[in-house]
Amino acid sequence: MNRVRLAGLLALLPATALAGGPEPFEYEPVGSLLDGSGEGAVDDTVYAPGMRFPMEDGPAFANSQVYMHGGYLGPGGGQCDAENYAYPWRDNYCEIRSWAMPLCPAGQGHQGQDIRPATCDDGVHWNVSTTDGTVTNIGSYSVYVTAADGTRFDWLHGTGNVVASGQTVSRGERINRVSNEFGTAATTIHTHFNLKQDVAGIGFVFVSPYTSLVASYQELFGLVGAGDGAIESTDCAAIEGWAWDDSNPDIAVDVQLVFGGPLDGANPVVQVTADRNRQDLCETLGSCEHGFSVEAPLSLRDGQAHPIHAYAVQGGRTANELESSPLLFQCEAPAVPPGVRRQISSPEIVSAWNIEPFWDVATVDDARIAAIDVDRDFPQQPVLVLSDADEGTVWLMDPGYRRLMGSEDVAAAWGLSLSDAEVWPASVLDDVPIGTPVRAARFLLRGSDGILYAIDDAQCALTEDGQLDPDCNAGGDETGGGGAEDGGGPNDGDADDGVGTVGPDTDGTGGPNADGSSGDDGCGCRSSSTPTPVWAMALVGLVFIRRERFFPGG
Amino acid sequence: MSRIVAWPDSTTRNTTAYESLDTAARRNVDDAPVPVLVPDDPKLLASAIVTTGTHWAAVATAAAGQHVSIQMSGQAKVYPHIKAAQGTYEVRGHAAFVTHNEGVWVASWIENGVAYNIELECADLKDVACQDSAAVVALAETLRFVGGRGEVQQ
């Protein structure tokens, strides 16, 4: 079964000639910048699926202003050189610039995409709104439009604005004309087009517009592709079907699944390649490798009916809707495992833990959530560590506790990898109390207020000297967590080993007890006024060092 | 994914700045889903246009050839392939990214649980305010909380 990325993906083919456009349309792949102009971002995410192309008419030519004819680092010649007004398109997001751009491979670069209009004429061709939205700023040479979802679209260097700050605009509504305005200076005749979004883990940032521009250009000119097939079944585990191009059965067709409505930019989109072997297709189609199967998103398992539209796409062309589309997906929420709930309090934490809310977070009714005890907030970021005296045991640092990360499978279930573990001094690590092993699978949920929680084990309270309450048994993950196989770390069942233990260890494993007595025994668990022992101060220092390494100051 | 807004206490609300906004701007501040920050410069306040969406607010204003744009977001998009990163500047006590392209200076940071972004665009590219990052950072430091619909009453 495939697990695919959310947000609207488009398979971009390099220099693909397509029929039906203003002329055969060709484009270089995303991230492929002109030689010597920097390293592009190879990112096929369509950040603004469904947007309209930002110029009223075509053809239009996305390429570099600086490194092509007429640019100050170009090969010479004037800006109206025919090569500037020809396909293929060329990405120039992340082109060499000297200021911070966190999504560029170099950490700095060009913020958007330069687009030339159909002809090298100033003030003739219209820029138009990509979306229904609000004009949120007009500068000397810029216009910003913000969509309902918060995505901001920027047009720079235009002239003759016919919109005003604060007004609403409709998709396709005229904004101004393509020009060379640059305050009191001038640039070449083009539109510098930006997409800006609030992205988890970063905040406001310019994201790559290139794939969104390709998709919108193809849509504008009706570059309809081939492809046929059907969406056949949905159960609570998977969504399945098939698709192919009968004129070219050797090519695997991509399928876009749109959840909640049609392909209009407002609904989540995932893309999967229909390349699975299906024996039942062999006779029917004379070709077998055309099936697809996608894991059902956990967030849609809320008892409600969700339409799923399916489209065949090929070569990045506009999609054809498959037979039986839309199909209804209706599943009850999965059972919530026992435990406490820990709030995941910001998008930055979601990003740090590699959580994909659409796929990973169950939608649970508010009453069920309210019945689950609230515990400490979920850790800000995953920190996996090894002791320099025992590099065979990986721990997850959960503030106040270290918790056994029992295997690579367990780590993977949490979106982590054991290879990311850092080596810490045993003198520091051994003093950190041991909590329950990390659960074998993560379970995340949210209710109608949108607040995310992880279901986890309560941990034992700490004593005044920062160790575990010896009378406490925090229990743990009854499904495993990996601790039962290797003794749960340094504590092999001996309560006097000086590192604390999870609780009475009746089966001698140090992990969950074989008789299932790992559940809550009502110890009262963690105190809200946890003391700050010496080891905790040392941890703060180590975490600080770690952050310095990943985020060097400047 | 919605950001959890930490609404500032009403005692921190700058009523002088709020009352310097025109009626339409004040109405939109009152309706904003996130804490609204505005510059404290009276000239910028007088011309400020405030807009709002379900999860965002924005301020646009200008004076003396300097255009200021502020965005505030209470809803982040989650892209699993984008890893967390922190900017190397400090703005209003928070790690911030500062960037510059096409003549526009930009600072972005997270405060009150909300993503903020301020941009400074000079009509004259030779304007001293657009020669380096100092002006946009200084401008960010002048931002004052003027309200929002979730404001915490003291």
A505 and A362 share one domain? yes
**Residue A25: its pLDDT value, please?**
83
* DSSP H/E element including A239: strand A238-244
Q: How much is the average pLDDT of A13-38? A: 70
Question: How many A-B residue pairs are in contact by the CB < 8 A criterion?
Answer: 196
Please identify which residue in the block is written with the tokens 């997409």: A195
**A250-254 long-range contacts, Cβ below 8 Å, gap at least 24?**
A250/A287, A251/A314, A252/A289, A252/A290, A253/A227, A253/A229, A253/A290, A253/A312, A253/A313, A253/A314, A254/A11, A254/A312, A254/A313, A254/A314
Please check the confidence at residue A46 and state whether its pLDDT lies above 80. Answer: yes
- With beta carbons less than 8 A apart as the criterion, state whether A245 and A228 touch: yes
Q: Which of A13-17, A32-36, A538-542 has the lowest mean pLDDT?
A: A13-17
Are the beta carbons of A204 and B88 separated by less than 8 Å? no
Q: What is the pLDDT of residues A515-535, one digit of tens each?
A: 333 333 333 333 333 444 444
Predicted interface score ipTM higher than 0.95: yes
Question: Which position has the higher pLDDT, A156 or A255?
Answer: A156
* In chain B, domain spans: 10-76+87-147
Reduced to 3 states, what is the DSSP secondary structure of residue A142? strand
Task: State the best of B21, B27, B36, B99 to mutate against chain A, taking most chain A CBs within 10 Å.
Answer: B99
A370 and A488 share one domain? yes
Best CA proximity match to A143, nearest among A173, A99, A184: A173
Are the beta carbons of B101 and A354 separated by less than 8 Å? no
A167 and A270 share one domain? no
Domain boundary at A220, A251, A283, which?
A: A220
A394 and A509 share one domain? yes
Q: Which pLDDT band, with edges at 50, 70 and 90, does A254 fall under?
A: confident
Are the beta carbons of A452 and B1 separated by less than 8 Å? yes
Q: Which pLDDT band, with edges at 50, 70 and 90, does A538 fall under?
A: very low
Nearest-neighbour CA in chain A from B147: distance (Å) = 19
- Within 8 A of B110 by CB-CB distance, chain A residues are 203, 348
User: Minimal Cα distance from A7: which residue of B?
Assistant: B79
The domain spanning residue A321 has which CATH number? 2.60.40
Nearest-neighbour CA in chain B from A137: distance (Å) = 5
A183 and A253 share one domain? no
- Residue A309 touches chain B, beta carbons under 8 Å: no
CA A212 to chain centre: 16
Q: How much is the average pLDDT of A419-426? A: 94
Q: What single-letter DSSP state applies at residue B76?
A: P
Q: What is the pLDDT of residues B123-138, one digit of tens each?
A: 999 999 999 999 999 9
Are the beta carbons of B71 and A152 separated by less than 8 Å? yes
User: Minimal Cα distance from A144: which residue of B?
Assistant: B69
Are the beta carbons of A551 and B77 separated by less than 8 Å? no
- Within 8 A of A142 by CB-CB distance, chain B residues are 67, 102, 104, 121
Q: Which of A146-150, A251-255, B18-22 has the lowest mean pLDDT?
A: A251-255
Nearest-neighbour CA in chain B from A103: distance (Å) = 8
Reduced to 3 states, what is the DSSP secondary structure of residue A525? coil
Nearest-neighbour CA in chain B from A219: distance (Å) = 24
- Restricting to A residues 491-550, those with a Cβ less than 8 Å away from any Cβ of B are none
A212 and A243 share one domain? no
- Within 8 A of A136 by CB-CB distance, chain B residues are 51, 58, 60, 69, 71
Domain boundary at A220, A249, A276, which?
A: A220
Are the beta carbons of A347 and B78 separated by less than 8 Å? yes
Best CA proximity match to B34, nearest among B121, B113, B87, B97: B113
Best CA proximity match to A549, nearest among A425, A423, A426, A427: A423
Longest dimension (CA), chain A: 83
User: Is A24 among the domain residues?
Assistant: no
Q: Which of A364-378, A477-491, A505-519, B41-55 has the lowest mean pLDDT?
A: A505-519
A163 and A184 share one domain? yes
User: Is A172 among the domain residues?
Assistant: yes
Q: Between vectors from CA B14 to CA A197 and to CA B2, what angle results, nearest 5°?
A: 30
User: Minimal Cα distance from B112: which residue of A?
Assistant: A346
**Residue A344, φ and ψ in degrees, nearest 5:** -100, 105
- Within 8 A of B83 by CB-CB distance, chain A residues are 201, 351-352
User: Is A510 among the domain residues?
Assistant: yes
Task: State the best of B51, B59, B92, B102 to mutate against chain A, taking most chain A CBs within 10 Å.
Answer: B102
Tokens of A165: 């700050």
Question: Which position has the higher pLDDT, A27 or A549?
Answer: A27
- What is the residue range of A77's domain? 61-220
Are the beta carbons of A201 and B85 separated by less than 8 Å? yes
User: Is A45 among the domain residues?
Assistant: no
Q: How much is the average pLDDT of A376-394? A: 93
**Residue A223: its pLDDT value, please?**
62
A275 and A304 share one domain? yes
Task: State the best of A137, A143, A167 to mutate against chain B, taking most chain B CBs within 10 Å.
Answer: A137
Cis? peptide before A337, omega within 30° of 0 = no
Are the beta carbons of A202 and B85 separated by less than 8 Å? yes
A475 and A370 share one domain? yes
Interatomic CA distance for residues A322 and A262, integer angstroms: 12
A211 and A290 share one domain? no
Of all residues in chain B, what percent are helix, strand and coil, respectively (each to 5)?
20, 40, 40
Q: Which pLDDT band, with edges at 50, 70 and 90, does A303 fall under?
A: confident
Nearest-neighbour CA in chain A from B139: distance (Å) = 17
Are the beta carbons of A183 and B124 separated by less than 8 Å? yes
Please check the confidence at residue A385 and state whether its pLDDT lies above 80. Answer: yes
Q: What is the pLDDT of residues A177-233, one digit of tens each?
A: 999 999 888 899 999 999 999 999 999 999 999 999 998 898 788 664 556 888 987
**Residue A227: its pLDDT value, please?**
63
Number of domains, chain A: 3
Domain boundary at A220, A238, A257, which?
A: A220
Mean pLDDT of chain A: 81
Are the beta carbons of A136 and B69 separated by less than 8 Å? yes
User: Is A55 among the domain residues?
Assistant: no
User: Minimal Cα distance from B49: which residue of A?
Assistant: A166
A456 and A507 share one domain? yes
- Within 8 A of A199 by CB-CB distance, chain B residues are 76-79, 82
Q: How much is the average pLDDT of B79-85? A: 88
Buried b (16+ CB within 10 A) or exposed e, A272-307: bbbbbebeebeeebeebbbbbbbebbbbbbbeeebe
A489 and A406 share one domain? yes
Tokens of A138: 């007009």
- With beta carbons less than 8 A apart as the criterion, state whether B131 and B120 touch: no
CA distances to A167, A381, A532, B126 from A377, in Å = 41, 11, 18, 49
